[in-house]
């Protein structure tokens, strides 16, 4: 049963991501992006990452896609989008070559499972790891990064 | 039919990453380019969480990394869209071809 869900979600994710780059109307591309974010949240649930799945929906579906849709609506003269560049064959070749290289690497590596059972729910272990053990400094740096991103966005957009 | 394992997730996220890369190279609309960047970041997150689940299930290291990737992605989108608006205000365009302010 999880296999069936995986293949279904994979089909949805691939179709949605191809639609993001192929659909001409940029607003519909943004909606396809939301479908992709939801299917990625489904993958997180399949991988027993319940907290990450909720955070994915809150941050990506709730915040980032709304920001992108607002950007689409405020630049409305460009709604129809632009045709693909004439680089598209080069880009396709680069993408397929990179995919072949990564797939070759993945299929020729034997990954070792270090064992241990995944926790029943991940919220408490993640909280303890983030604020209890070695991740306190990265959390503080992330806070400074978010603050400077907010200030930077305001400074860039402020009327002179 | 063999059961889904680590390889399936890695191949899937590699495919998503390459689709995002092709989009970043080909798109001329900046907002669509930001969307393709988000596809690439999501592919990386799938990789991190799949490794976390199949390599070290008890340690959750990959999930912690994915949280930081999400934080950086949120900051990147906020600043990126602010820059797009700022250029759109002066140039009346979101076409990459017109973004040549730094060219000399």
Q: ipTM of the assembly?
A: 0.90
- Chain B residue closest in CA terms to A37: B42
In this prediction the pTM is 0.90
**How many whole angstroms separate alpha carbon B74 and alpha carbon B72?**
5
Q: Reply yes or no on whether the pLDDT at A84 is more than 70.
A: no
Residue in A19, A43, A73, A138 to test binding to B, most B beta-carbons within 10 Å? A43
Sign of CA dihedral A65, A71, A74, A76: negative
Tokens of A115: 């064992």
Enumerate the residues of chain B whose CB falls inside 8 A of the CB of residue A106: 7, 10-11, 14
Predicted pLDDT of residue A77: 64
Q: What is the mean pLDDT of chain A?
A: 87
- Chain A residue closest in CA terms to B14: A99
Predicted pLDDT of residue A19: 93
Scanning B29-68 for CB atoms below 8 A from A yields 29, 31-32, 34-36, 38-39, 42, 45-46, 49-50, 52-60, 63-64, 66-68
Contact yes or no for A91 and B26 at CB 8 A? yes
Predicted pLDDT of residue B6: 87
**Out of A90-94, A143-147, B43-47, least confident range:** A90-94
Contact yes or no for A146 and B39 at CB 8 A? no
A127 Cβ under 8 Å from any chain B Cβ:
no
User: Alpha carbon B59 to chain centroid distance?
Assistant: 25
pLDDT digits (tens, 9 = 90+) for B31-81: 889 999 999 999 999 999 999 888 888 888 889 999 999 999 999 999 999
Give the SS3 label for residue B95. Answer: strand
Give the SS3 label for residue A71. Answer: helix
pLDDT digits (tens, 9 = 90+) for A109-139: 888 777 777 777 888 888 888 888 788 999 9
Burial A109-140 (b: 16+ CB within 10 A, else e): eeeeeeeeebbeebeebbeebbeeeebeebee
Predicted pLDDT of residue A48: 87
Which residues share a beta bridge with B77? none
**CATH, domain range B6-98:** 1.10.287.3510
Predicted pLDDT of residue A160: 65
Q: What is the mean pLDDT of chain B?
A: 88
């Amino acid at each position: 049963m999880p296999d069936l869900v995986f293949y279904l979600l994979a089909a949805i994710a691939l179709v949605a991501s191809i639609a993001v780059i192929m659909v001409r109307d940029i607003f519909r591309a943004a909606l396809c992006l939301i479908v992709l974010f939801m299917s990625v949240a489904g993958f997180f649930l399949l991988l027993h990452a319940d907290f990450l799945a909720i955070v994915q929906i809150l941050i990506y579906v709730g915040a980032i896609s709304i920001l992108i849709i607002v950007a689409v609506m405020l630049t409305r003269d460009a709604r129809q989008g632009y045709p693909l560049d004439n680089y598209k064959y080069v880009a396709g070749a680069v993408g397929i070559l990179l995919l072949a290289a990564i797939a070759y690497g993945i299929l020729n590596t034997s990954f070792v499972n270090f064992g241990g059972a995944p926790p029943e729910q991940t919220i408490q272990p993640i909280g303890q790891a983030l604020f209890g053990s070695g991740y306190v400094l990265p959390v503080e740096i992330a806070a400074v990064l978010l603050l400077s991103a907010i200030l930077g966005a305001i400074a860039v957009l402020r009327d002179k | 039919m063999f059961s889904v394992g680590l390889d399936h997730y890695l191949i899937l996220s590699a495919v998503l990453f390459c689709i995002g890369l092709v989009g970043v190279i080909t798109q001329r609309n900046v907002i669509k380019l930001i969307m393709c960047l988000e596809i690439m970041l999501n592919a990386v997150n799938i990789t991190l969480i799949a490794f976390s689940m199949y390599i070290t299930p008890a340690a959750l290291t990959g999930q912690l990394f994915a949280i930081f990737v999400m934080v950086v992605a949120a900051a990147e989108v906020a600043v990126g869209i602010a820059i797009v608006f700022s250029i759109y205000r002066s140039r009346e365009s979101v076409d990459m071809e017109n973004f040549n302010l730094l060219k000399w």
